[in-house]
Amino acid sequence: MEELLEGLNEAQQQAVVSTEGYIRVIAGAGSGKTRALTHRYAFIVNELGIDPGNVLSVTFTNKASHEMRRRVKKLIGGEQDTGFITTYHGFCVRVLREDIHRLFYPKNFIILDVEDQKILLREIFEDMELKMNDKTFKRILDKIGKLKGNTHYVQQMILRGEMPIPDDAGDLDGQIIQRYLKKQKRVYGLDFDDLLNFVFVLFEQYKEVLEKWQDRLFYIQVDEFQDSSLKQFELVKKLSRKHGNLFVVGDPDQTIYEWRGADPKYMVDFDQFFEGTETIFLNQNYRSTPQILSLSNALIKNNYFRVDKDMVTENPGGVKVVHYHGKSEIEEAQWIVKRMQQLVENGAEYRDIAVLYRANYLSRFIEQELISANIEYTIFGGFKFFDRMEIKDALAHLRMIAMEDDLSFSRIINVPRRQIGKKRMQFLRKMAEQDGLSLYETLKKYIDHDRLRRTGARSFINAIETLKEQKDALMVSELLQEAMQRTGYEAYRREDGDQERLDNLTELLHSIVQYEQTLGEEMELEEYLQMISLYTDDDRDDQLNAVKLMTIHTAKGLEYPYVFIVGMTEGVMPNVRALRERKERALEEERRLAYVALTRAEKELYVTESEGFQNGGQRKYPSRFIFEVEEESFERIGEIDQSLIEEAKEYIRASHHQSKSLQTSGYNIGDRVSHPVFGVGTIEDIDEKKNTYRVFFDKMKTPRPISRNFKKLEKVEE
């Protein structure tokens, strides 16, 4: 017990021992929320004697859940199963594995990522003899995403056996989407949206399933709660109903997924959803120097829609935050790399350095400099390890052995070449459709058919059949090795001579072995495959002494001693879209993103940008966020003409002014207004299309849309 509370301040300790009821912790970045959450989990297990199988701990990314598992294991000992320290999606997979058969899907359903979806669509386009490019692909996927915004389609498709059509899909798109859904069902594939939706339908249709989980999960806790969407919020709300123990931590200032449906109101209004909520505030920052903290605080204060928090730190003073301005991107990158080398000369390690950026493409010029300086680096969340062709191929072999699904089949049947090209595939698909069989079954059935006889199909079948027999006797890692040899895939890659691909395959094997060591020998092939499909990035590179490159979104919740935020340019951050929308809301989300970036730094922080032109030909200016804090907060390095600064400020002022004048013909966002019935409130937003203000009245729980033509709305001066 001592051990669990050691190294925590009073408020954190209170959070740890508050195990019963509805509790929220609201606190700024680096205040020890995640640390408190981790210790609380251990407290429940060690001090309350609750089995980890009865505690759900939701984290935001796989990386975060790995990290939390690692820390928890240190506190509670390595033996216990910590499978319920997971993401929302990871949890849904657990639920579905137990009960998805009620929706007529097998336990071994497949999880589809964007790449898989693309393959399915490509086949449909081929069969319909249509052309497809990235744009059509995106359009169709958007429409599918929209259709999956609620659960009706699951009810319709699974329970009533009908095919839903999206409302606004034109005829052809509608047909494509129908075919897509059919195919998806045939391979028993679920995409990320489906995972949550299927769980909802399961819970609605089968009360006993919901009750089982409500019974089981005595304690539920959620990290980064400010980024939960309505569905995710509904999920934990439902699950916690029986025992009434829900603990959430978050920082509304770090909401950066509004564009994907996150809504900080579940955090901010938590007490209105759950009566008797206890709220704990943490106000001491343990992560950063006073310089970094005060700069971050000063920036986020520019947001209008927020609750002010006063963060303090007792950390020793450090150096000023640096703003570097370069004459070109190359100069910017060169300066950064040089500074990194200096840091290392003075005792830092490359692994302590992180480079953060708003969008993936910005990593390129830094990468070039790192390469020429011979500095090792790792990119997180960019081109993902599990997205690489050879990794997907290898996993498809495993999936083929486990599920014999059409997707894996199509992926590997002709790699290495077995003379099964487009024509023969179309033949197979036609026969499969006609006989109601999977592609693999069809191949076996027609193996002596004229069109297939002289192909390499038979040896493929032999390999797969043998592997299927070996499946239960071998560990997953062993099975993979067998598969790579028997199917000839490894030999094929060797002949190909691409060493990097071979290295990646070895690395995959290595990661499976590691997985087996942490999970124990009980790891089922199917379960492994499902978990691996959820990976967005992973922590396999953490051991390397390499500089880390990642987007700000990926850096959420993490911390590094030395942080470089690059490309701090108007139009990049805040990004063009936010500026173009001219919505205060969008701009504020950008500012929160900047705040998340700044608060990742522990010791030294560098904000960099450079002159030049952007893609669209627009001149580059330093981001407005740099001007929003006091001059003295920065140490300025790099020559910057006063005229450029003036020009930038003028540009920002103009765009701001324009945004205000475009937004409204009457009142502005942020104005206080009074209404004859609802009383006084604040204008949160303006809906141009519907010509309404969104007004949050002080005494109401949710905002109201009020017509801009409504005469009785009056401005109040306070």
> Annotated binding site, which residues?
27-34
| 5: number of Cβ within 10 Å | 16
Q: Which is nearer to Mg ion, 189 or 557 (CB)?
A: 557
Q: How far is the CB of 557 from Mg ion (least distance, A)?
A: 4
Chain centre distance of CA 492: 34
Q: Is 130 helix (H, G, I), strand (E, B) or coil?
A: coil
Establish whether 33 is a catalytic residue.
Answer: yes
Smallest separation (angstroms) from Mg ion to the CB of 251: 8
Maximum C-alpha span of the chain: 86
Nearest CA among 509, 483, 501 for reference residue 396: 483
Please tell me the distance from the alpha carbon of residue 42 to that of residue 63, in angstroms, as a whole number.
19
| Least Å from the CB of residue 294 to ligand ATP | 17
Cβ 236 to Mg ion shortest distance, Å: 17
- What DSSP designation does 622 have? B
Give yes or no for a contact between 397 and 591, defined as CB atoms under 8 angstroms apart: no
Query: 343 or 552: whose CB is closer to ligand ATP?
Result: 552
Residue 342 a catalytic site member: no
Q: Which tokens in the block code for residue 57?
A: 């701990």
- Of the listed 113, 116, 223, 537, which one is catalytic? 223
Q: Which of 210, 98, 200, 214 is nearest to 158 (CA)?
A: 200
Nearer to Mg ion, 424 or 556 (CB): 556
Map tokens 């990235």 to a residue. Answer: 134
Compute how many other C-beta atoms are within 10 angstroms of the C-beta atom of residue 204: 14
Q: For residues 551 and 569, which CB has a smaller minimum distance to Mg ion in the complex?
A: 551
Residue 164 interacts with Mg ion (CB under 5 A): yes or no: no
CB of 535 to ligand ATP, least distance (A): 21
**Strand stretches in 251-391, DSSP E:** 278-282, 284-285, 312-313, 321-326, 353-357, 377-379
Number of residues in contact with ligand ATP, rule: CB under 6 A?
A: 19
**Taking the alpha carbons of 53, 57, 63, 66 in that order, is the dihedral positive or negative?**
negative
Could you please report the per-residue DSSP string of 200-255? HHHHHH-HHHHHHHHHH-SEEEESSGGG-BHHHHHHHHHHTTTT--EEEEE-GGG-
> For residue 571, what is the DSSP state?
B
Instruction: Determine, following the binding rule CB under 5 A, whether residue 65 of this chain makes contact with Mg ion.
Output: no
Question: 536 by DSSP, 3-state: which?
Answer: coil
* Secondary structure of 361-385 in HEC code, one letter for each residue: HHHHHHHHHHHHCCCCEEECCCCCH
**30 touches, from ligand ATP, Mg ion, none (C-beta below 5 to 8 Å by class):** ligand ATP
Q: Please report how close the Cβ of residue 558 comes to ligand ATP at its closest, in angstroms.
A: 8
CB of 285 to ligand ATP, least distance (A): 8
Residue nearest to Mg ion (CB): 34
**Of positions 18, 19, 34, 151, contacts ligand ATP by CB under 6 A:** 34
CB 609 within 8 A of CB 622: yes
Per DSSP, what are the bridge partners of residue 282? 27
Residue 547 binding target from ligand ATP, Mg ion, none, CB below 5 to 8 Å by type: none
Q: Which of 3, 7, 449, 702 binds ligand ATP (CB under 6 A)?
A: 7
- Check if 224 is active-site: yes
Structural contact between residues 604 and 319, judged by C-beta atoms closer than 8 angstroms = yes
Interface segment toward ligand ATP; rule CB under 6 A; list 3-11, 66-74, 173-181, 687-695: 3-11
Residue 551 among the catalytic residues: no
Q: Could you give the 3-state DSSP secondary structure of residue 296?
A: helix
* Residue 35 interface partner, choices Mg ion, ligand ATP, none, CB cut-off 5-8 Å depending on type: ligand ATP
Minimum Å gap between C-beta 551 and ligand ATP is 15
Provide the residue type at 442 as one letter.
T
- Site membership for ligand ATP, residue 31 (CB under 6 A): yes
Residue nearest to ligand ATP (CB): 32
From the list 142, 7, 147, the residue with the least C-alpha distance to 74 is 7
From residue 600, give the alpha-carbon distance in Å to each of 29, 537, 570: 8, 19, 21
Q: Is 704 helix (H, G, I), strand (E, B) or coil?
A: strand
Mask 539-558, x = binds ligand ATP (CB under 6 A)?
Answer: ------------------x-
Backbone angles phi, psi at 121, to 5 degrees: -65, -40
- Determine which residue in the list 23, 24, 35, 332 makes contact with ligand ATP, applying CB under 6 A: 35
In this structure, are residues 148 and 166 in contact, taking their beta carbons and an 8 Å threshold?
Answer: no
3-state secondary structure 398-412: HHHHHHCCHHHHHHH
Is 29 a binding residue for ligand ATP by CB under 6 A? The answer is yes
- Residue number, 147 or 280, with CB nearest to ligand ATP: 280
Cα–Cα distance, 151 to 97 (Å, whole number): 19
Stretch that binds ligand ATP, among 29-37, 100-108, 315-323, 398-406 (CB under 6 A): 29-37
Using CB distances below 5 to 8 A depending on partner kind, what does residue 452 bind out of ligand ATP, Mg ion, none?
Answer: none
Q: Is 40 in the site for ligand ATP (CB under 6 A)?
A: no
Q: Which residues are annotated as a binding site for ATP?
A: 27-34
State the minimum distance, in angstroms, from the CB of residue 33 to Mg ion.
5
Return the number of the residue (251 or 369) whose C-beta is nearest ligand ATP: 251
Q: Which is nearer to ligand ATP, 60 or 218 (CB)?
A: 60
Of 7 and 78, nearer to ligand ATP (C-beta) is: 7
Instruction: Indicate if 86 belongs to the active site.
Output: no
Site for ligand ATP in 221-280 (CB under 6 A): 251, 254
**Between 2 and 345, whose beta carbon lies closer to ligand ATP?**
2
Q: Which is nearer to Mg ion, 90 or 557 (CB)?
A: 557
- Binding partner at 117 among Mg ion, ligand ATP, none, C-beta below 5 to 8 Å by kind: none
* Interface stretch with ligand ATP, choices 23-31, 86-94, 545-553, 618-626 (CB under 6 A): 23-31
Asked whether position 480 contacts ligand ATP by CB under 6 A, the answer is: no
Among 4, 12, 72, 103, binds ligand ATP (CB under 6 A): 12
- Tokens, residue 487: 């199917």
Is 310 part of the annotated catalytic residue set? Answer: no
Considering only residues 28 through 47, tell me which ones interact with Mg ion, judged by CB under 5 A: 33-34
Quote the CA–CA distance of 609 and 592 in Å, as a whole number: 19
Asked if 676 and 691 touch (Cβ cutoff 8 Å), the reply is no
Q: In 3D, which of 249, 267, 196 has the Cα closest to residue 59? A: 249
Please, are residues 615 and 624 in contact by the beta-carbon 8 Å criterion?
A: no
Up-side HSE of residue 148: CA atoms within 13 Å toward CB? 18
> Residues 12, 19, 24, 34: which is the catalytic one?
34
Q: If binding is defined by CB under 5 A, does position 557 make contact with Mg ion?
A: yes
| Stretch in the footprint of ligand ATP (CB under 6 A) among 32-40, 137-145, 162-170, 316-324 | 32-40
Residues of this chain that bind Mg ion (CB under 5 A):
33-34, 557
Residues within the interface to ligand ATP (CB under 6 A): 7-9, 12, 27, 29-35, 251, 254, 286-287, 557, 559, 599
Which residues does the annotation mark as catalytic?
Answer: 33-34, 223-224, 254, 600
